[in-house]
Amino acid sequence: MVNKIHTLGGYIHEYQKSIANPEQFWAQTAESFYWRAKWDKVLEWDFKGPNVKWFINGKLNITENIFENQLFVQKDVPAIIWEPNDPNEEGKIITYGELFEEVQRFANTLKSLGVGKGDRVAIYMPMIPELTVALLACARIGAIHSVVFAGFSATSLAERIIDAEAKVLLTSDGSYRGLKKIPIKDIVDEALESCKSIEHCVVYKRTGDVISMKEGRDIWWHDAINEVSTQCEAEVMDAEDPLFILYTSGSTGKPKGIVHTTGGYMVYSAYTFKNVFQYSIGDVYFCTADIGWITGHSYIVYGPLLCGAQALMFEGVPTWPDPGRFWDIVEKYKVNQFYTAPTALRSLLALGAEHVEGKDLSSLKVLGTVGEPINEEAWHWYHDHIGKNRCPIVDTWWQTETGGVMISPLPGITPTKPSFATLPLPGIQPVIVDGEGKELLGNSVEGNLCVKYPWPGMLRTLWGDHERFRKTYFSSFDDMYFTGDGVKRDEDGYYRILGRVDDVINVSGHRLGTAEVENAINEHPLVNESAVVGYPHSIKGQGIYAFVVCTEFSTGGEEGIRTSVKKAVAKLIGPFARPDMVQIVPGLPKTRSGKIMRRILRKIAEGDASNLGDTTTLLDEDIVEVIIKGALVDVKR
């Protein structure tokens, strides 16, 4: 069993140990897992290459560590507690024993479709237990899963399938989101028109809606699993064999396929889960994220299941049938640890505290947030109304790339401070550097957040593009991993994340590249060029503001274009990427060399045009005046 820190002194001791001798620290942590063969060497690294390897020549299977090796896990203990979208539909409680059987059965199904070690399997599914089964079945046979969040469009899904050259796609007929039904299989059909690598598509029946099934390619899940046995030996994997790919946005238009490997990710997701949530056997843990994002991978599936936890999985949305849904679930299942995003808290806060009143939240012990900075108002609302001033809040900072939490309080152990992620976890060595890469030592400093030593959960490469991996994370500053975030270390040495310093925006806890949104807008037939920036938004954290230059106006005039541009982005990327504000402008502010001056556009979108800073490099100052005059104001700013 992974060891758990219990006291502040224990944290300080572990942290110091982990810095003084990281290899020994992680080797000790890794020893509590089941390895088919032990590693010869703990770590090999060079951030110039870059090359990072943990537990070299160690052999294992992560699902053996979830199922076979947990002597403390009774096969009758719940692994997944599933709450469907509709509170009137009966939920499911799936024990470790049942889950193991389903995983083996589906692993054999994948094998029968010709999937083997190293093959990529794309997964585009709603939040149903079979999604967890799908991930673990891939891991069982050594196939690399690539989950695509089911809110992405057909184009985005296709782009990810093509990049990974996935052989099989796992999906469902449709999905439920509150009162809405989403035609998942129709989106899949559109995507697959351009995906030559896909040989088979397995479809889980969730809504029962009429869908088309392509002869020879598409198979019903329930038919496919009937043909195979419920026993499937685990494939023996090398510690550094890829476990999964998860695409995320970067500052260019093309999504990056973050690659995580088996051994290091296992150790890191389990260690951080246990410590950050202070999980004890018997607790019920509820993370509201979707498995389509890294939070779901690490803290619904792998971390909790590796620790023998009971993980609640929720299919629906926080506001349906009413904004008290999360609290109904907490009451119904006596949830002990609750983990969500600040944006969800802000929207529930805005809908009124009456939705919390009368709900029994006394089971709660630990509250968590992730994905974006939490403002003090939301923090206090969470602390007072949900935690009733009893529950510590863990503001967990991390990234798709880091695999698990990096900076966070340990609840009840290290101090918390509203809007601060506070202190690094053991094994994590954050550094703050200025624009030139000079390390800023001591307290009360602000700059770029980097990490100067590897940790087991870090990404190893970008799928098919190791050079982009190097450029993105290791070229800004010598010999460190650059996170892309700005950070402040206060007078007490606590870290406060200030947000991205690159062209990435964070909309409702979802990362979006401004270039990605611009590419989508530029596909519009009446658009010449565009520039997208983020601005502060009271619910979403950041809103999307697009400045658009048109070739001509359609019959609908400006308003018509604004609407169709928003629709086009929702269609091309996904509904969550729909711009909040679209301003039609005669031109963009550029330098003489033709570079768009985003700094100026950001100021205008933020409503702070009185202070544009240095504009001497502008090619045409008049354009800026025109843009300022026509600027739009979001009431939610």
- List residues binding ligand WT7 (CB under 6 A): 248, 294-295, 370-373, 395-400, 421, 483-485, 497, 499-500, 506, 511
- For the bound state, the minimum distance from the C-beta of residue 311 to ligand WT7, rounded and expressed in Å, comes to 16
Q: Which helix (H) or strand (E) holds 218?
A: strand 218-220
Angle, CA 167 vertex, CA 162 and CA 171 arms, to 5°: 90
Q: Between 557 and 575, whose beta carbon lies closer to ligand WT7?
A: 575
Cα separation, 617 vs 597, in Å, equals 9
Which C-beta is closer to ligand WT7: that of 426 or that of 541? Answer: 541
Residue among 163 and 372 whose Cβ is closer to ligand WT7: 372
Residue 88: HSE in the Cβ half-sphere, 13 Å Cα cutoff:
3
Phi, psi of 341 (to 5 degrees): -105, 145
Side-chain half-sphere of 594: how many Cα atoms within 13 Å? 1
Dihedral sign computed on CA atoms, order 610, 612, 618, 623 = negative
Give the shortest CB-66-to-ligand WT7 separation in angstroms: 21
Q: How far is the CB of 504 from ligand WT7 (least distance, A)?
A: 7
Q: Enumerate residues 6+ apart whose C-beta is below 8 A from 67.
A: 73, 96, 99, 100, 103
| Pick 109 or 261: Cβ nearer ligand WT7 | 261
Decide if 256 contacts 248 (C-beta within 8 A). yes
Encoded tokens for 224? 């496919």
* Structural tokens at position 96: 């470790």
Q: Which helix (H) or strand (E) holds 157?
A: helix 154-164
Q: Which is nearer to ligand WT7, 14 or 372 (CB)?
A: 372
CA distance 228 to 626: 67
What's the residue count for the chain? 637
Amino acid at 335: V
The arrangement of strands across the sheet holding 481-489 comes to 430-433, 445-451, 481-489, 495-500
H/E stretch holding 483 reads: strand 481-489
**Which of 274-289 are b and which e, b meaning 16 or more Cβ less than 10 Å from the residue's Cβ?**
bbbbbbeeebbbbbbb
Other C-beta atoms closer than 10 Å to the C-beta of 347 total: 18
CA distance 529 to 550: 7
Handedness of CA 339, 343, 346, 347 (dihedral sign): negative
Quote the least distance from Cβ 300 to ligand WT7, whole Å: 12
Distance CA 509, CA 513 (A): 13
Which CB atom, from 430 or from 484, has the smaller least distance to ligand WT7? 484
Report the distance separating Cα 51 and Cα 551, nearest Å: 47
Query: Residue 392 to residues 190, 319, 320: CA-CA distances in angstroms?
Result: 46, 25, 27
Cβ contact 536:573 at 8 Å: no
Residue pair 373/322 in contact by the 8 Å Cβ criterion: no
Find the DSSP H helices in 278-341: 294-296, 303-306, 325-333
Of the candidates 519, 633, 529, the one whose C-alpha atom is nearest the C-alpha of residue 581 is: 633
CB of 585 within 8 A of CB of 547?
A: yes
Q: How far is the CB of 261 from ligand WT7 (least distance, A)?
A: 17
The angle, 0 to 180 degrees and rounded to 10, between the axes of the packed helices 262-277 and 22-30 is: 90
Q: Which is nearer to ligand WT7, 126 or 250 (CB)?
A: 250
Q: What is the dihedral of CA 251, 254, 260, 265, to 10 degrees?
A: 40
- Rg of the chain over CA atoms, in angstroms? 24
Please, how many CA atoms are within 13 Å of residue 36, restricted to the half-sphere of its CB? Answer: 16
